[in-house]
Amino acid sequence: MGKLWLWLRRLPRRLIRSVTGRLAGKLILLFATIIVLSVGSLTYISYKTLENESFKSNVSGTGSNLAIVGKNLDKFLSEVDQLSLPPLQFEQLMLAIRNEENDYASQLYLEDYVRGLYYSRGDLVGVYLYLIDEQKYYYISRSDPDIRVRVAADTALKIPAAPWYRATLDNPQNRTVQTLLLGENAGYAVDARTAFMGYHRVYRSLIDRKPQAMVSFFFNTSGRNQIIGDIPIADGEQVVHVDPDNRPFYWSNAGFYQDMARGGLFRQMDEDGGRNRLDWAGPDGAKYLILYNRHQESGWKLIKAIPYSEINRAARTNRMYSYAIGLGFLIVSLLLVTVTSNAITRPLKQLSRKMSRFGDGFFDVEVEVKGHDEIARLAARFNSMVIRTNDLINERYRMKLVEKSAILKALEAEINPHFLYNALQAISTKALKNGMTDITDMVDALALTLRYSISDKDVVTLQEELRHIRQYFTLQKARFGERLIVAYELEEEAMGLLIPKLSVQSLVENAIKHGLEKVSSPVTITIAYAKRDGEHAISVADNGPGIPPDKLEQIRQSLDKEWEEQERDSIGLKNVNTRLQMIFGGEARLEIATEAGVGTEMRMVLPDRGTGLHV
């Protein structure tokens, strides 16, 4: 621990010595000091200037914005006031109210009147017409699924008990506006979550000025929010809209409104004397610039509180930019000193990266040679080594291709010679017994078979192979007669499947050798196709005596032996298995299944690679 502390104490002196011990270090220190002093002083001056300009801009821009939005809110309230005014046929409305109880036409008139008010605006939650003497009300509400005019009795006298009811009757203008943000009783079944304001007007008789009815409108927030939405609100800013009694009809934050009320801010506005601007410290200690617009006629106030931290944000941002620019100049000066060393080491770094890629097995790398120095000569030697390596790889690859092609041709050429002997023997026997009638067909079949065998195709479709197999069976039937029975279980979609040439014939030959030739009874050879677990299987099965277990194990082991160790009896199956894996990869294979007394089944299994195994 003591050694670490001693090293940390000596570290500053070592750094100073390493910087000042060279001319480049001294120049870096000098230019860094000049940049720091210049940028620091300019940043402070610009910060103070921008801070003052930001304050003026906020006051001017926000004041103008509040004035415009305040006028739109006053227009909104004026439209609501116009909506509540008595209709031109006021006497007819009063007559309908007086005769409502016993006159059906009056009831219909009142329903139409309420319905017309409701559909006059799109932001209405509900319209209510309270008949004072009858203690009932007609209403239409958006919460009603049918949205139709209904009638309800106020037996509990909830409406007269509501605070707004008495305020409306006592108001000289026969109207009052009610806020629903404070949870005040609406009297009606109005959901305060969907409505923010109620507007009430009393209808009086023209003769004795006696109140006859009370009409109430409840509005959702769509119209108000559309207007308030024109006020840009940044982080930390708050907006409040209050009536002359400082009751809220909009707040962006309920807690902030309550802090304003408790802090006496509304009283300060009333005593402000028309400045429309206040400084206020919130309960959390944050300082706010309070800007508000008061409507001269209605007395409603639209208030916006802007944290001074937000006002000065632009100035602080400018200060940070100035610091960043100064730091950038400092970094540039340091980079200019190191550019020479980078110019020397860059070719070596590039050569090192190329050599690493070459070591990882990417042999297409090449280094750009610039100049005539030692590094350039080293890069040229490296490029020469890459070219020679690629030449050797390409030569080896071509040799592998030639070797593979030769093996395939050799495997295809290994046609069992006893087949040709048996075919000729069958032709001779047929000619002796039956004359010349069927010899032509047999000779044609033999010719087609030999032609197919010596064709230069490595891979054929299953349909081509089956056409050859049918010619082959023509010759074999001449030999075995009715004892040879052939069956096909194939689907049309399998006809385009690609397989090695003569592969199915090799399996058929094995079925004849181990099945048909071993018994004197008829034997059925079945050629079938199936798709299982994403693989294609082409099988040749017989119901002959089967292959003994020891012989079957010997055949299976021979499939994995080298050609030099291969036994002659199973060379045909080895041929098929080898060609399958060379052409289609290690997933392709030859499977053999047998059971004593039941028969043998040999399957060529090919991987399913989409259309890659089809024509």
CATH of the domain at 246: 3.30.450.20
What pLDDT is stored for residue 214 in this prediction?
94
What pLDDT is stored for residue 23 in this prediction?
46
* Proportion of the chain above pLDDT 90, given as a percent: 18
**Closest by Cα among 168, 210, 214, 169 to 188:** 214
- Answer with the one of 224, 257, 278 that is the final residue of a domain: 224
What pLDDT is stored for residue 492 in this prediction?
87
What pLDDT is stored for residue 411 in this prediction?
57
Asked if 112 and 259 sit in the same domain, the reply is no
**pLDDT tens profile 401-455:** 656 665 666 555 555 544 654 665 566 566 656 666 566 667 666 766 767 776 7
pTM of the model: 0.48
**353 assigned to some structural domain:** no
Domain that holds residue 593: 413-613
Asked if 297 and 391 sit in the same domain, the reply is no
Q: How many CB atoms lie within 10 A of CB 460?
A: 21
Asked if 473 and 560 sit in the same domain, the reply is yes
Asked if 423 and 405 sit in the same domain, the reply is no
Asked if 515 and 375 sit in the same domain, the reply is no
What pLDDT is stored for residue 417 in this prediction?
47
DSSP assignments along 237-295, one per residue: -EEEEE-TT--EEEES-HHHHHHHHHTTHHHHHHTS-S--EEEEE-TTS-EEEEEEEE-
Q: Rounded mean pLDDT of 43-66? A: 76
**32 assigned to some structural domain:** no
Question: Letter for the amino acid at 502?
Answer: L
Asked if 304 and 395 sit in the same domain, the reply is no
Residue 210: which pLDDT band, with cuts at 50, 70 and 90? Answer: very high
Asked if 571 and 512 sit in the same domain, the reply is yes
587/8: higher pLDDT: 587
Residue 216: which pLDDT band, with cuts at 50, 70 and 90? Answer: very high
Asked if 526 and 399 sit in the same domain, the reply is no
173-176: long-range contacts, CB 8 A cutoff, minimum separation 24? 174/201, 174/202, 174/204, 175/81, 175/84, 175/199, 175/200, 175/201, 175/202, 176/200
Q: Rounded mean pLDDT of 108-116? A: 93
Q: Which CATH number is 504's domain given?
A: 3.30.565.10
Range in 34-38, 199-203, 607-611 the model is least confident about: 607-611
User: Is a pLDDT exceeding 90 seen at residue 376?
Assistant: no
528/346: higher pLDDT: 528
Asked if 261 and 380 sit in the same domain, the reply is no
356/230: higher pLDDT: 230
Range in 5-9, 193-197, 338-342, 410-414 the model is least confident about: 410-414
**181 assigned to some structural domain:** yes
**pLDDT tens profile 322-343:** 667 767 766 776 677 566 666 6
Q: Rounded mean pLDDT of 234-252? A: 89
210/14: higher pLDDT: 210
Asked if 449 and 546 sit in the same domain, the reply is yes
**72 assigned to some structural domain:** no
Asked if 165 and 237 sit in the same domain, the reply is no
406/107: higher pLDDT: 107
**517 assigned to some structural domain:** yes
- Answer with the one of 168, 203, 224 that is the final residue of a domain: 224
28/115: higher pLDDT: 115
Asked if 526 and 424 sit in the same domain, the reply is yes
**38 assigned to some structural domain:** no
- Answer with the one of 194, 224, 254 that is the final residue of a domain: 224
User: Is a pLDDT exceeding 70 seen at residue 544?
Assistant: yes
**45 assigned to some structural domain:** no
**79 assigned to some structural domain:** no
**pLDDT tens profile 286-306:** 888 888 888 877 788 899 998
Question: Letter for the amino acid at 209?
Answer: R
Going by their DSSP bridges, the two strands 498-500 and 535-542 should be labelled as unpaired
The count of structural domains within the chain is 4
